Amino acid sequence: MLLKTSPHNYQLKNTAHPNLEHIYPQLNNYTSKIWLLIDGLSFSTTAEFCAIVSSNNRGKFIGEETGGTYEGNTSGVQIESTLPHSKIQISFGTVKYDMSVKPAKEPARGIIPQYKIRQDVSGKTGSHLNYALKLIKE
């Protein structure tokens, strides 16, 4: 199930879970471009989905850089610890996930949107959606 790739690294065999097998698109798959609204709270599975969309040039991104990185993340089992002097409590993942994507244009960054929108702090709702709908109609 696990392949040892270096003294402290292991890789799951593609037979370890059905999700790791090669998956082919269905005949009736959606082939048009998609538009994704993203921001700094787009992380974990959302960032992974955005990375695949970006790598395969399947859509356009509107908003702010994703909180999760393009290349993958560190998550899995969490270890919690208290720093000895400051007593600050920290939590960190123990498993590194690497995405199967084209090389990053900007390593260690999230997905950078083609259409940048700053967060609206005015309290108005729908401004991002309205901007996205306007772009789609163009």
Q: Which of 58, 60, 54 lies closest to 106, judged by CA?
A: 54
Residue 129 has pLDDT above 80, yes or no: yes
pLDDT digits (tens, 9 = 90+) for 35-89: 999 999 999 999 999 999 999 999 999 999 999 999 999 888 899 999 999 999 9
- Confidence label for 22 from pLDDT (cuts 50, 70 and 90): confident
The reported pTM is 0.78
Q: What is the pLDDT of residue 84?
A: 96
pLDDT at 116: 93
